[in-house]
């Protein structure tokens, strides 16, 4: 079957069209995405602004048209942190549905972590043993761990790269040492508060990371380019990241944008994202994180395929 997966993230709206059937890896057929930056289109009261609503509505309309052109027989549409936490989320999604026909489901933070874990488990397989998975999005950090396809532990923290950039370095100001020190302390306190749920059964046999932020950091630290294909092993090493963070803090936006794997629209998120990644690796005592090419979208697809009855 041909599925359309409409992912409304805190940074980007992404339609992924896949050919999929139960028991096979989803095969990407088409991709359409736009930078929405919804995590940064929130007003002082926590509502999505008119600008953000217009951007989301326009993207959803275009995505529905692309899905129709590509022959999708079903659309799986979901939204994550930025929409989930907006005080006007119901009104925003009702507006989008009325104007575009896109019925968008809001995923909980726990479901986001759970579905990402499912995708990573399927990618690495049972040989991964006890698996820990980390995903830095625009609005939140998801953490999950377990030995089965459903994680024993799955939770979400408000430590997304776009959120931290807006809250701590708003207005495009360069991060100063004092702000970075305070942000670093907050990140580590928030992650460490519940880290015991992952650590209590012992160190994971394998630790993996997904998302654009982790992929960008790994690329900066020397991992293979995306053009080399998804089957090339990639990892983010703690030692390399620690050496890069002071350099990243000192770089102006233009220089950050010139780094491999960094989008110009996300240069302001690199330092906050790097601080979260470093904290994860330090608190969970992980010398490296393997980069998994599958993440939330693939988890949503796989769960849908699992519900198909076998004749």
CATH number at residue 157: 3.30.420.150
In a domain, 307, yes or no: no
Per-residue pLDDT, 43: 92
In terms of domains, do 98 and 119 share one? no
In terms of domains, do 47 and 146 share one? no
In the chain, where do the E strands start and end?
Answer: 2-8, 12-19, 27-35, 74-79, 105-106, 131-136, 141-146, 153-157, 206-210, 235-237, 288-291
Residue 7: pLDDT band (50, 70, 90) is: very high
In terms of domains, do 62 and 120 share one? no
Torsion of CA 16, 21, 23, 29, to 10 degrees: -30
Per-residue pLDDT, 202: 87
| The pair of three-digit structure tokens given for residue 143, joined into one six-digit string | 């953490």
Across 36-50, average pLDDT:
92
Per-residue pLDDT, 309: 63
In terms of domains, do 264 and 118 share one? yes
In a domain, 311, yes or no: no
Q: Is 310 a residue whose pLDDT tops 60?
A: no
In terms of domains, do 178 and 83 share one? no
Of 106, 122, 146, which marks where a domain is finished?
106
Of 106, 127, 147, which marks where a domain is finished?
106
Residue 175: pLDDT band (50, 70, 90) is: confident
Per-residue pLDDT, 170: 76
Parent domain of 84: 2-106
Distance CA(123)–CA(210), nearest Å, equals 12
Closest CA to 168 of 157, 190, 156, 184: 184
In a domain, 258, yes or no: yes
CATH of the domain at 17: 3.30.420.40
* Percent of the chain topping pLDDT 90: 87
Of 73, 106, 139, which marks where a domain is finished?
106
In terms of domains, do 73 and 162 share one? no
pTM: 0.95
The total of structural domains in the chain comes to: 2
Residue 70 to residues 7, 111, 140, 283, Cα–Cα distance (Å): 17, 28, 31, 45
Across 246-259, average pLDDT:
94
In a domain, 305, yes or no: no
The answer to whether 6 touches 37, Cβ cutoff 8 Å, is: no
List own/partner pairs for 220-225 with CB under 8 A and 24 or more apart: 220/244, 220/248, 220/259, 220/260, 220/261, 220/262, 223/291, 225/260, 225/261
In terms of domains, do 146 and 249 share one? yes
Distance CA(136)–CA(168), nearest Å, equals 17
In terms of domains, do 51 and 12 share one? yes
In terms of domains, do 273 and 203 share one? yes
The order of strands in the sheet holding 288-291 is 153-157, 141-146, 131-136, 206-210, 288-291, 235-237
Distance CA(190)–CA(185), nearest Å, equals 9
In terms of domains, do 177 and 196 share one? yes
Q: Is 282 a residue whose pLDDT tops 80?
A: yes
Per-residue pLDDT, 311: 54
């Amino acid at each position: 079957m041909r599925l359309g997966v409409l992912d409304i993230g805190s940074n980007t709206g992404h339609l992924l069209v896949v050919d999929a059937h139960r028991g096979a890896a989803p095969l990407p057929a088409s991709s359409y995405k736009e930078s929405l930056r919804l995590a940064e289109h929130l007003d002082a009261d926590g509502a999505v602004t008119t600008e953000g609503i217009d951007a989301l509505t326009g993207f959803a309309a275009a995505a529905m048209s692309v899905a129709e052109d590509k022959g999708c027989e079903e659309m799986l549409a979901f939204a994550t942190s930025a929409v989930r936490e907006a005080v006007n989320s119901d009104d925003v999604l009702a507006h989008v549905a009325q104007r575009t026909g896109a019925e968008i489901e809001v995923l909980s933070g726990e479901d986001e972590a759970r579905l990402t874990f499912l995708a990573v488990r399927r990618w690495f397989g049972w040989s991964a043993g006890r698996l820990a998975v980390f995903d830095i999005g625009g609005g939140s950090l998801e953490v999950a761990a377990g030995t089965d396809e459903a994680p024993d532990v799955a939770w979400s923290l408000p430590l997304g790269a776009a959120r931290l950039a807006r809250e701590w370095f708003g207005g495009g100001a360069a991060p100063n040492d004092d702000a970075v020190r305070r942000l670093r302390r907050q990140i580590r306190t928030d992650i460490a508060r519940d880290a015991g749920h992952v650590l209590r059964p012992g160190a994971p046999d394998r630790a993996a990371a997904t998302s654009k932020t982790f992929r960008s950091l790994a690329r900066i630290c020397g991992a293979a380019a995306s053009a080399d294909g998804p089957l090339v092993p990639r990892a983010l090493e703690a030692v390399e990241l620690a050496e890069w963070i002071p350099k990243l803090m000192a770089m102006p936006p233009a220089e950050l944008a010139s780094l491999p794997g960094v989008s110009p629209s996300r240069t302001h998120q690199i330092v906050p994202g790097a601080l979260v990644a470093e904290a994860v690796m330090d608190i969970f005592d992980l010398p490296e994180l393997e980069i998994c090419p599958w993440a939330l979208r693939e988890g949503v697809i796989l769960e849908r395929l699992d519900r198909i009855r076998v004749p």
